[in-house]
């Protein structure tokens, strides 16, 4: 018990993200059940699991959208995320990409990125905000990273599905977060796009911690990262993709039903 | 190509100086010309001239201009931030009551009972002294401050609770309706001290100018037009700034905006309060021109009608809201006079027609057509097009 | 400078459109026509009452034209719909006077609509005939009030109930809609009752909002108040739509007219037509006119009305008689003055006499109110109101009530030497 | 006045005691009723009652019931009965058949309130021994209210002979009141007090409090008086307590009744708005159409089948459902179906539609109220005890609301249409691919919601105006109920309606009707802050999409 406590405080201090015994239920249905896991700084982590395993709810808890019934979530050591709202958490340095690509469809790609710029986000600051050269340069930089330089002036709503996914990732990059939560980034993408996305995420993970939720095993393999398997709201297995794929319980959950 | 885009974000002041959204300059030009020509034509041209604007029309136009400002305020929150208020008439009416109270105090001892302090209805209800909330309304600056403060504070308090609790969509619309309905019932009560059903009426003068004199009417008209112009500029300022883009972002994807680090509730609150204050100003200008303020301005039906003006004109296009307010009210004036038995069919039909065939309103739909024509001519997209409206 | 040219073009276009659309082109007043404005709501909450009065005016205009018109000219009614919207009343009044150039306006029902149009009529020196019973406390140079003032309705009704004949009532419930007419009437009645020695605890005052529809609590309160030993009556100034649910609740809770009679000032034949009156027999109403009164004039009027409206079941009511008297008086005054000029007609109005539909003669006084008889009737099971008592003679309508201290000292007299609607001493 | 009443009463006593017929000429006395002057008529009534003629009670009943006419030709007093070709008339005094006349040949003998009260009292006393227990009950109540001392003896006799227990109870109460007021000995009064303190009637309360006040005013009371005063006070407290209890029950009943009205008004909206997401501003007009359908059905009955008039209301229920439902289907097919997924635009379109429908009804039926009469079985009150009477029409509305809710739940839960409806609202595309005709289901669902609104109109026609504005009066309240209860949940609508109704009725005595309503609205606003999706909101991720 004492070792566990020591271990926890250890992890609290060094990890970028630490979930400790998080449970959430909706009308009696347990979406998360005593979920605990740790992400280290600079790590890229893939989270897989069947439908209803609680992947998205986990993201909701980390980003402050859903308050857990019990348990704690720590960011960068000591910040308890369960006590803050989405905007605060976003400004702390956690970026989130939704399962369904969510961009500001009636605004241009450029404006989408501008809105996501890191910086003071108070009402009055925003009202009088003007772009300086450094910020423009940064936007141009990210446009390049997400391969949308040519589309800068297009309405985001007119982009293809894959491009929207990229734009959303680009918006995360503009926030310059310490931790990126990416929910099914390649759903509905062509193979070529999927491959490109994997490369993009690997590039990003060089400078950021990334948590990717994904179904697509090929894509997960391409990420070359540690994998956590969720099932019924708690961790079923953890390790490299190969280890996990050979885990008996994982096989049961995925195939045995 | 890309370079032109990068130059557009030099802050709201620069945006406002370098370019108003589609048709904005023309719109301001029309307002300016109207503010100049209408009084001149009324004063200088002989009554027989076809271009003479009779005083009757001046008051009518003044009324429409106030409605237009109200429509503008609704468009600011509905068109840009996706907040559908079915209770904006409440802010309009509160602004109106603040002005009405000043006008009431101006009557002084010229009321029927000749009481120098108490308005007639209080004398008549056996009130012996002025209630505390009437203090200060004999001073014009104080009354004007209240015109801004009362709607603003109500909007702040209401918005503070509603937006923090994340009441959205239909739920928000319904509770704004509940708000205005509760105020309606409250102001109907004679015990409230606002004149009950009869409201405030029988005004004599404003800042010493007789309200029934043509000159005063013209001045009020011009003041209303200026207020509308300034209101338009304020709305442009907001919508062209980064804040405006945040609002649109909230309208289109509220969660995304939150996860981008914006405190959505503060943004909504800010724009809601600005909008309420604009509505209050509209109400304050409206009251001396129509000569009465009464609780029926609070009725939910009135507020719904305002939303309809905006929808007819084009949600999310600022001067579309103004156009909608003018068209619907002009239609109402014209039809109630010319087809008293059938005008409701026409008005109702107009609303149904607009929603079915002009889903973006007159301005939005015609802008889309123009866009299509342009696209046919040259294959490049244009970023200056009005924002398309996405449904929640 | 493309902008400016565009602007100029738009403005010219708009001006042309406005000019044509507002019918300003047609504003040249044709000399061979006398125009009568009708300013009654045809839609919205008040349409239920006011539409009838619009039809009444149209009927009389029709009748006048059939009999050769007025001053040899054809009379034309200009109907507009102010849609139960008070600011719209003011706008429409201005339109009628300035654009349509009408010579006189018949209209308004609610006090607030009258208050709303009043400044317009005074500013443009036009003439309004207001046909509904109201709270008094007003006398405008430009308005003739042909409905009852409080002293022509409320006080006689209460006096009747206090009498042996009316049941020796000792306890009073004053129930009304919360607006100025009931407030005034109740204020007057309260001070009148106290002057007659009724104790404070024997008066219960209750106000409800417009269109109140759930009367359970109030009716059962009245029932309790009435069962405490003393003979109790309800004086109802409940307005418009709220009456039907009120009477339905009364009937259902079995409040019998013999136990607790209700006397109403706003319930006439028109309102009763929407009700099954069998449970209401014996409840009272006070007006200056009942359809059931038998007289030659009334029979003719009813016959004419039913023929005009094409419905044998339509009823007549007091505001219709008030409209009838007002219209007749105006035509007589125009003929006497030989012109429709407002000032000349106004002078000719004073002392103008028209035979009441219920017998006797109505006279227009110099305070712009009528002298009329007061009738008290009981509701019958056929929806009619049968007279049970009437004043011997006509009662002069008071613009300012004697029972309100501030107004008791005011005098309305639009002839020399007073020439004012509310002053304490003569102007000249 | 005092004297004349005493004379009559004396005469009545004589009559009751001897059961003999006096000889005064009834016909002569009755002639007085032909006068136009009410004082003459009253005198005539009193004379008739005093005549002691066996037919006098019959004559007075006819007068009270409005079935006494004078023939225009001979000024004879007759009663009439409708027959196929006119009216069969009979002389009221001699019962002689005078043949058939037209209604124009008769003029009704009118009475006023004072006469009505007088006759009721007189008839009441004459009917203490009537065969009909209902009349005896009325008579006992009438004596209880007027409390003439002279009635002590006849009432005691009647009580002794009374077999019906409820009538006997009423007589006992009346007798106790008489003894309490006129009792000669303290013992008699004390005994009466024992019965009175068991009553729960405001009249008893006022009787006791008057006595208590009288006793309290006595200067230097004797110990006996003091003791008696204490007993009266105790009795008064007892009655008060019971009345307070009944007051609460009455409040709850009125609250439930108001809640049922709200439920009826809102339940159709719970479908069109709650289930389909159409912000249906024309909902109120569907209610109005239902009410006008009731009117039309009733008029048809009146004109073509007067015998069935009492059942017209029942026939109106399906009729209103069908008419309003068809309107709903037509609206859905012509307008709403183009607007799915754009809820705010449905608000605008249906608002326009509601203006059109109102004006349409105004054009067809005219702007004035229409009369929808209540059948006999819906009028009157169910007297639980002295201080508590529930009106039949309110009871009927509560039952009707419950029935409508039940049927609706049944349709939604147990029929294949309900299944299809839920499938379409939950996942339109999936439902379509499974072969459900989604267009048809949409139309039917909207039709169902509108039809239910139409049925609500039948109920509202019983308590409110049948006018073009009927719907407008309920639309805001309906939305409040649906939103408060939680959109898309019928149980929420039920709980919402009832709790708003009951709260309103409990506030009303303290705050008045207006403030109570304002409080309710403010409460809803605050409540929505606490639960932004209403009382019975679904939780979880699914809701957000």
Subunit contact C47:D468, Cβ cutoff 8 A = yes
Query: Does D61 map to a domain?
Result: yes
Q: Is the pLDDT of residue C173 over 90?
A: yes
Rounded distance between C-alpha atoms, residue B75 and residue B319, angstroms: 9
Give strand pairing partners of A20: A72
Could you read off the pLDDT of B367-380 as tens digits, one per residue? 888 878 877 765 54
Task: Tell me the pLDDT band of B19, cut-offs 50, 70 and 90.
Answer: low
Query: φ, ψ for residue C404 (rounded to 5)?
Result: -115, 115
Across the interface, which of B26, B30, B56 has its CB nearest the CB of C94? B56
Asked if chain A contacts chain C via 3 or more Cβ pairs within 8 Å, the reply is no
Q: What is the reported pLDDT for B22? A: 64
DSSP for chain A, written as a single string? -HHHHHHHHHHHHH-SEEEEEEEEEETTEEEEEEEEEEE-TT-EEEEE--TTSSHHHHHHHHTTSS--SEEEEEETTTEEGGGS-HHHHHHHTEEEE-SS----TTSBHHHHHHHH-SS---HHHHHT----HHHHHHHHHHHHHTT-GGGTTSBGGGS-HHHHHHHHHHHHHHH--SEEEEE-TTTT--HHHHHHHHHHHHHHHTTSEEEEE---HHHHHHHT-EEEEEETTEEEEEE-HHHHHH-HHHHHHHH--
With contact defined as 3+ CB pairs under 8 Å, the chains touching B are: A, C, D
- Domain end among D471, D489, D513: D471
C262–chain D nearest CA distance, Å:
11
For tokens 């939150």, name the residue. Answer: B258
Subunit contact B179:D525, Cβ cutoff 8 A = yes
The 10 Å CB-count burial string (b at 16+, else e) for B86-122 is bbbbbbbbbbbbbbbbbbbbbbeeebbbbbeebbbbb
Tell me what the mean pLDDT of segment B333-359 comes to.
86
Q: Does B16 touch chain A (CB under 8 A)?
A: no
Q: What is the reported pLDDT for D535? A: 82
Per the structure, the complete domain to which residue D289 belongs is given by 250-471
- Give A29's contacts in chain D (Cβ within 8 Å): 540
The structural domain count of chain D equals 2
Subunit contact D114:C207, Cβ cutoff 8 A = no
CATH code for the part of the protein at A1-92+225-257: 3.40.50.300
- Give A115's contacts in chain B (Cβ within 8 Å): 242, 245-246, 249, 257, 260
Q: Which two tokens stand for residue B333?
A: 């004036």
Q: Does A28 touch chain D (CB under 8 A)?
A: no
Q: What is the reported pLDDT for A2? A: 41
C307 by Cβ neighbours in 10 Å (0-12 / 13-18 / 19+) ranks as exposed
Q: Name which of C45, C46, C48 to mutate to probe chain D: the one with the most chain D Cβ atoms within 10 A of its Cβ.
A: C48
The contacts of residue D192 (CB under 8 Å, 6+ apart) are D175, D176, D177, D178, D179, D180, D183
For D545, nearest residue in chain A (alpha carbons): A100
Q: Is the pLDDT of residue B161 over 70?
A: yes
Contact A228, A210 (CB under 8 A): no
Could you read off the pLDDT of C195-210 as tens digits, one per residue? 888 988 899 998 888 7
- Give C422's contacts in chain B (Cβ within 8 Å): 112
How far apart, in Å, are the Cα atoms of B256 and each of A48, A90, A97, B159, C228?
A: 23, 10, 8, 21, 68
For B311, nearest residue in chain D (alpha carbons): D348
How far apart, in Å, are the Cα atoms of C93 and each of A43, B211, B218, D504?
A: 78, 17, 19, 41
Query: Does D528 map to a domain?
Result: no
Q: Name which of B196, B216, B340, B341 to mutate to probe chain C: the one with the most chain C Cβ atoms within 10 A of its Cβ.
A: B340
Subunit contact C216:D380, Cβ cutoff 8 A = no
Angle between helices D490-530 and B169-188 (to 10 degrees): 80
Q: What is the reported pLDDT for B182? A: 93
Tell me what the mean pLDDT of segment D455-464 comes to.
90
Could you read off the pLDDT of B264-287 as tens digits, one per residue? 999 999 999 999 999 999 999 999
Q: Name which of D347, D492, D512, D526 to mutate to probe chain B: the one with the most chain B Cβ atoms within 10 A of its Cβ.
A: D347
With contact defined as 3+ CB pairs under 8 Å, the chains touching C are: B, D
Do D304 and D450 fall into the same domain? yes
For B162, nearest residue in chain D (alpha carbons): D529
Q: Name which of C20, C406, C410, C423 to mutate to probe chain B: the one with the most chain B Cβ atoms within 10 A of its Cβ.
A: C406
Q: How many CB atoms lie within 10 A of CB B209?
A: 15
Q: What is the reported pLDDT for D20? A: 38
Q: Hey, which bits of chain B come out as E strands?
A: 200-201, 205-206, 209-210, 292-293
Do D111 and D259 fall into the same domain? no
With contact defined as 3+ CB pairs under 8 Å, the chains touching A are: B, D
Most trustworthy range by pLDDT among C258-267, D313-322, D422-431: D313-322
Subunit contact B350:D351, Cβ cutoff 8 A = no
Subunit contact B388:A157, Cβ cutoff 8 A = yes
Subunit contact B348:D356, Cβ cutoff 8 A = yes
**Annotated domain spans of chain A:** 1-92+225-257, 103-214
Beta sheet of C203-208, edge-to-edge order:
C203-208, C171-177, C232-237, C262-264, C284-287, C375-379, C385-390
Across the interface, which of B26, B57, B124 has its CB nearest the CB of C6? B26
Subunit contact C47:D362, Cβ cutoff 8 A = yes
Could you read off the pLDDT of C355-399 as tens digits, one per residue? 999 988 999 999 999 999 999 999 988 889 988 888 888 899 988
**Annotated domain spans of chain C:** 154-264
Q: Is the pLDDT of residue D121 over 80?
A: no
Q: Is the pLDDT of residue C19 over 80?
A: no
Rounded distance between C-alpha atoms, residue C89 and residue C106, angstroms: 12
Q: If contacts are CB pairs under 8 Å, which of residues 250-309 in chain D contact chain C? A: 250-251, 254, 257-258, 261
Q: Is the pLDDT of residue B93 over 90?
A: yes
Q: Is the pLDDT of residue C334 over 60?
A: yes
Q: Per mean pLDDT, which range of B69-78, C49-58, D5-14 is the poorest?
A: D5-14
Across the interface, which of C23, C42, C123 has its CB nearest the CB of B341? C42
Q: What is the reported pLDDT for A36? A: 85
- Give A149's contacts in chain B (Cβ within 8 Å): 2
Q: Does B255 touch chain A (CB under 8 A)?
A: yes
Give strand pairing partners of A155: A108
Q: Coil, helix or strand for C377? A: strand
Q: What is the reported pLDDT for C21? A: 46
CATH superfamily for domain A103-214 = P-loop containing nucleotide triphosphate hydrolases (3.40.50.300)
Kindly list the residues of chain D whose beta carbon comes within 8 Å of any beta carbon in chain B.
279, 281, 335, 338-339, 341-349, 351-356, 358-360, 363, 472, 476, 479-480, 483, 487, 514-515, 517-518, 521-522, 524-526, 528-530, 532-534
Q: Is the pLDDT of residue C344 over 90?
A: yes
Q: Which two tokens stand for residue C416?
A: 């020399």
- Give D517's contacts in chain B (Cβ within 8 Å): 182, 185
Tell me what the mean pLDDT of segment D189-210 comes to.
81
Task: Tell me the pLDDT band of A5, cut-offs 50, 70 and 90.
Answer: very low
**ipTM score assigned to the predicted complex:** 0.86
Q: Does D410 touch chain A (CB under 8 A)?
A: no
For C100, nearest residue in chain B (alpha carbons): B337
- Give D538's contacts in chain A (Cβ within 8 Å): 27
For B351, nearest residue in chain D (alpha carbons): D352
Subunit contact D524:B392, Cβ cutoff 8 A = no
Q: What is the reported pLDDT for C223? A: 87
- Give B294's contacts in chain C (Cβ within 8 Å): 86, 112, 116
Query: φ, ψ for residue C74 (rounded to 5)?
Result: -80, 145
Q: What is the reported pLDDT for D9? A: 53
Contact D120, D113 (CB under 8 A): no
Across the interface, which of B300, B351, B391 has its CB nearest the CB of D349? B351
Instruction: State whether CATH 3.40.50.2300 applies to domain C154-264.
Output: yes
Q: Per mean pLDDT, which range of A233-247, C59-73, C131-145 is the poorest?
A: A233-247
Could you read off the pLDDT of B189-213 as tens digits, one per residue? 888 889 888 889 888 888 888 888 8
Rounded distance between C-alpha atoms, residue C111 and residue D101, angstroms: 49
Subunit contact B170:D363, Cβ cutoff 8 A = no
Tell me what the mean pLDDT of segment D161-189 comes to.
81
Q: Is the pLDDT of residue D307 over 50?
A: yes
Q: Does D426 touch chain C (CB under 8 A)?
A: no
Is the model more confident about B274 or about A253?
B274
C82–chain B nearest CA distance, Å:
7
Could you read off the pLDDT of A175-201 as tens digits, one per residue? 888 888 888 887 777 888 888 888 888
Q: What is the reported pLDDT for C263? A: 92
Task: Tell me the pLDDT band of B298, cut-offs 50, 70 and 90.
Answer: very high
Q: What is the reported pLDDT for D294? A: 94
Subunit contact D532:B350, Cβ cutoff 8 A = no
Q: Does B266 touch chain A (CB under 8 A)?
A: yes
Q: Largest alpha-carbon pair distance within chain D? A: 95
Q: What is the reported pLDDT for D344? A: 76
Rounded distance between C-alpha atoms, residue C64 and residue C42, angstroms: 23
A240–chain B nearest CA distance, Å:
30
Rounded distance between C-alpha atoms, residue B334 and residue C341, angstroms: 28
DSSP for C391-405, written as a single string? -SS-EEPPSS-TTSH
Q: What is the reported pLDDT for B153? A: 96
Helix (H) or strand (E) holding D67: none
Query: Does D183 map to a domain?
Result: no
**Mean pLDDT rounded to a whole number for chain B:** 84
C253 by Cβ neighbours in 10 Å (0-12 / 13-18 / 19+) ranks as buried
- For CA atoms B114, B115, B116, B120, the dihedral sign is negative
Rounded distance between C-alpha atoms, residue D438 and residue D431, angstroms: 7
- For CA atoms B8, B9, B15, B21, the dihedral sign is positive
């Amino acid at each position: 018990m004492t070792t566990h406590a020591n271990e926890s405080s250890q992890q609290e201090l060094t990890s970028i993200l630490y979930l400790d015994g998080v449970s959430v239920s909706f009308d009696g249905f347990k979406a998360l059940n005593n979920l605990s896991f740790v992400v280290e700084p600079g790590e890229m982590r893939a989270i897989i699991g069947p439908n209803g395993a609680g992947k998205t709810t986990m993201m909701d808890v980390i980003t402050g959208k859903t308050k857990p019934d019990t348990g704690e979530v720590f960011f960068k050591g000591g910040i308890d995320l369960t006590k803050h709202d989405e905007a605060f958490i976003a400004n702390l340095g956690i970026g989130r990409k939704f399962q369904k690509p969510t961009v500001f469809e009636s605004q241009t790609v450029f404006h989408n990125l501008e809105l996501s710029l890191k910086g003071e986000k108070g009402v009055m600051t925003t009202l009088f905000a003007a772009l300086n050269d450094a910020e423009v340069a940064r936007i141009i930089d990210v446009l390049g990273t997400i391969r949308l330089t040519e589309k800068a002036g297009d309405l985001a709503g007119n982009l293809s599905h894959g491009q929207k996914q990229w734009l959303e990732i680009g918006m995360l990059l503009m926030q310059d977060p310490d931790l990126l939560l990416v929910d099914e980034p390649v759903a509905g993408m062509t193979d070529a796009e999927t491959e490109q996305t994997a490369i993009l995420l690997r590039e990003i993970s060089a400078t950021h911690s990334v948590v990717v939720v994904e179904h697509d095993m090929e894509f997960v393999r391409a990420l070359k990262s540690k994998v956590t398997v969720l099932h019924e709201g708690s961790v079923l297995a953890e390790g490299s993709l190969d280890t996990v794929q050979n885990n008996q319980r994982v096989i049961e959950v995925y195939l045995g039903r | 190509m890309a370079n032109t885009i990068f130059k557009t974000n030099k802050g709201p002041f620069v945006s406002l100086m370098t370019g108003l959204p589609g048709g904005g300059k023309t719109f301001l030009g029309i307002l300016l010309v109207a503010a100049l020509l209408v009084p001149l034509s009324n004063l200088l041209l002989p009554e027989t001239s076809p271009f003479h604007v009779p005083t009757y029309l001046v008051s009518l136009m003044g009324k429409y201009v106030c409605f237009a400002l109200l429509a503008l305020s609704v468009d600011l929150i509905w068109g840009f931030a996706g907040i559908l208020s079915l209770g904006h008439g409440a802010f309009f009416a509160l602004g109106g009551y603040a002005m009405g109270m000043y006008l009431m105090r101006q009557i002084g001892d010229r009321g029927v009972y000749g009481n120098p302090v108490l308005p007639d209805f209080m004398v008549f209800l056996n009130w012996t002294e002025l209630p505390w909330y009437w203090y200060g309304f004999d001073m014009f600056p104080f009354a004007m401050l209240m015109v801004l403060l009362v709607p603003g504070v109500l909007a702040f308090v209401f918005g503070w609770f509603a937006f923090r609790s994340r009441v959205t969509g239909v739920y928000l619309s319904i509770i704004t309706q509940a708000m205005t309905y509760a105020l309606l019932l409250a102001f109907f009560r004679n015990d409230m001290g606002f004149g009950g059903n009869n409201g405030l009426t029988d005004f004599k003068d404003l800042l010493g100018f007789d309200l029934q004199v043509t000159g005063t009417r013209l001045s009020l008209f011009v003041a209303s037009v200026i207020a509308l112009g300034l209101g338009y500029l304020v709305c442009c300022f907001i919508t062209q700034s980064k804040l405006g883009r945040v609002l649109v972002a909230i309208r289109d994807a509220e969660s995304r905006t939150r996860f981008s680090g914006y405190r959505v509730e503060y943004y909504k609150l800010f724009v809601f309060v600005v909008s309420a204050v604009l509505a209050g100003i509209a109400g304050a200008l409206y009251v001396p021109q129509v000569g009465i303020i009464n609780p029926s301005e609070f009725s939910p039906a009135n507020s719904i009608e305002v939303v309809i003006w905006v929808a007819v004109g084009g949600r999310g296009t600022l001067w579309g809201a103004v156009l909608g307010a003018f068209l619907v009210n002009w239609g109402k004036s014209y039809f109630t006079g010319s087809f008293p038995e059938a005008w409701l069919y026409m008005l109702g039909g107009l609303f149904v027609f607009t929603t079915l065939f002009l889903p973006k309103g007159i301005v939005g739909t015609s802008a889309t057509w123009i866009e299509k024509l342009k696209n046919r001519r040259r294959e490049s997209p244009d970023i200056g097009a009005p924002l398309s409206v996405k449904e929640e | 400078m493309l902008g400016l040219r565009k602007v100029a073009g738009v403005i010219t276009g708009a001006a042309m459109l406005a000019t044509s659309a507002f019918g300003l082109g047609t504003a040249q007043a044709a000399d061979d026509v006398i125009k009568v404005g009708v300013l009654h709501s045809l839609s919205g909450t008040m349409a239920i009452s006011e539409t009838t009065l619009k039809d009444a005016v149209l009927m009389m205009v029709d009748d006048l034209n059939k009999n050769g018109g007025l001053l040899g000219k054809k009379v034309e009614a200009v109907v507009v719909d102010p849609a139960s919207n008070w600011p719209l009343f003011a706008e429409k009044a201005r339109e009628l006077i300035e654009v349509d150039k009408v010579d006189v306006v018949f209209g308004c029902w609610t006090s607030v609509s009258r208050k709303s149009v009043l400044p317009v009529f005074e500013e443009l020196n036009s003439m309004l005939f207001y046909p509904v019973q109201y709270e008094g406390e007003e006398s405008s140079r430009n308005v003739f009030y042909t409905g009852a003032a409080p002293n022509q309705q409320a006080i006689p009704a209460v006096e009747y109930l206090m009498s042996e004949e009316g049941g020796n009532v000792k306890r009073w419930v004053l129930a009304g809609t919360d607006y100025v007419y009931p407030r005034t009437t109740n204020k007057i009645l309260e001070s009148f009752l106290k002057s007659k020695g009724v104790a404070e605890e024997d008066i219960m005052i209750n106000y409800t909002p417009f269109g109140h529809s759930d009367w359970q609590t109030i009716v059962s309160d009245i029932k309790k108040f009435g069962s405490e030993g003393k003979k109790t009556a309800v004086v109802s100034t409940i307005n418009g739509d709220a009456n039907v649910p009120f009477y339905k609740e009364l009937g259902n809770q079995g409040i019998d007219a013999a136990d607790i009679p209700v006397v109403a000032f706003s319930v006439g034949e028109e309102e009763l037509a929407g009700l099954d009156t069998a449970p209401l027999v014996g409840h009272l109403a006070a007006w200056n006119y009942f359809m059931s009164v038998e007289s030659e004039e009334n029979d003719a009027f009813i016959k004419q009305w039913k023929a005009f409206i094409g419905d044998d079941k339509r009823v007549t009511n007091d505001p219709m008689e008030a409209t009838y008297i007002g219209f007749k008086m105006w035509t007589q005054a125009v003929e006497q003055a030989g012109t429709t000029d407002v000032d000349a007609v106004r002078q000719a109005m004073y002392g103008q006499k028209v035979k009441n539909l219920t017998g006797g003669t109505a006279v227009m006084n110099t305070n712009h109110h009528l002298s009329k008889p007061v009738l008290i009737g009981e509701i019958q099971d056929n929806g009619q109101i049968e007279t049970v008592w009437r004043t011997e003679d006509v009662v002069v309508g008071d613009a300012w009530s004697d029972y309100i201290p501030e107004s008791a000292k005011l005098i309305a007299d639009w002839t020399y030497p007073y020439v004012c609607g509310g002053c304490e001493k003569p102007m000249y | 006045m005092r004297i004349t009443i005493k004379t009559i009463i004396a005469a009545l006593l004589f009559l009751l005691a001897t059961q003999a017929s006096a000889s005064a000429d009834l016909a002569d006395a009755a002639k007085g009723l032909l006068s136009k002057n009410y004082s003459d008529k009253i005198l005539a009534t009193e004379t008739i009652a005093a005549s002691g003629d066996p037919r006098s009670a019959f004559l007075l009943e006819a007068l009270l019931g409005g079935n006494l006419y004078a023939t225009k030709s001979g000024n004879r007093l007759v009663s009439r009965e409708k027959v196929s070709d006119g009216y069969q008339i009979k002389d009221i005094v001699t019962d002689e058949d005078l043949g058939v006349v037209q209604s124009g040949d008769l003029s009704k003998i009118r009475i006023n309130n004072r006469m009505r009260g007088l006759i009721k009292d007189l008839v009441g006393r004459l009917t203490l021994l009537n065969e009909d227990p209902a009349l005896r009950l009325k008579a006992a109540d009438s004596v209880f209210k007027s409390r003439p001392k002279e009635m002590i003896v006849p009432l005691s006799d009647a009580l002794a002979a009374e077999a019906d227990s409820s009538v006997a109870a009423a007589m006992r109460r009346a007798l106790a009141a008489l003894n309490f007021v006129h009792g000669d000995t303290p013992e008699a009064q004390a005994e009466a007090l024992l019965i009175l303190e068991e009553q729960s009637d405001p009249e008893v309360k006022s009787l006791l409090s008057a006595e208590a006040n009288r006793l309290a005013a006595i200067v230097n009371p004797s110990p006996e008086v003091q003791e008696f005063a204490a007993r009266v006070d105790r009795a008064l407290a007892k009655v008060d307590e019971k009345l307070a209890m009944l007051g609460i029950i009455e409040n709850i009943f009125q609250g439930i009744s108001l809640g049922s009205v709200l439920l009826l008004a809102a339940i159709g909206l719970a479908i069109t708005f709650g289930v389909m997401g159409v912000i249906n501003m024309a909902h109120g007009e569907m209610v109005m159409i239902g009410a006008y359908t009731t009117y039309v059905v009733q008029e048809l009955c009146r004109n073509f089948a007067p015998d069935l008039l009492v059942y017209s209301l029942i026939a109106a229920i399906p009729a209103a459902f069908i008419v309003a439902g068809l309107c709903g289907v037509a609206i859905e097919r012509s307008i709403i179906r183009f607007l799915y997924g754009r809820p705010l635009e449905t608000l605008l379109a249906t608002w326009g539609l509601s203006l059109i429908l109102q004006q349409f009804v105004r054009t067809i039926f005219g702007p004035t109220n229409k009369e929808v009469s209540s059948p006999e079985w819906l009028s009157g009150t169910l007297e639980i005890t002295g201080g508590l009477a529930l009106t039949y029409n309110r009871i009927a509305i509560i039952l009707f609301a419950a029935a409508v809710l039940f049927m609706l739940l049944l349709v939604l839960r147990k029929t294949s249409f309900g299944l299809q409806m839920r499938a379409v609202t939950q996942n339109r595309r999936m439902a379509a691919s499974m072969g459900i005709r989604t267009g048809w289901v949409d139309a039917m669902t909207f039709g169902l919601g509108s039809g239910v609104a139409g049925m609500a109109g039948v109920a509202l026609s019983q308590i409110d105006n049948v006018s073009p504005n009927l719907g407008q009066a309920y639309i805001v309240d309906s939305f409040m109920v649906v939103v408060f209860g939680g959109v898309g949940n019928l149980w929420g609508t039920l709980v919402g309606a009832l709790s708003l109704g009951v709260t309103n009725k409990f506030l009303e005595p303290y705050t008045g009707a207006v403030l109570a309503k304002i409080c309710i609205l403010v409460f809803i606003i605050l409540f929505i802050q606490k639960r932004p999706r209403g009382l019975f909101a679904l939780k979880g991720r699914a809701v957000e999409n």
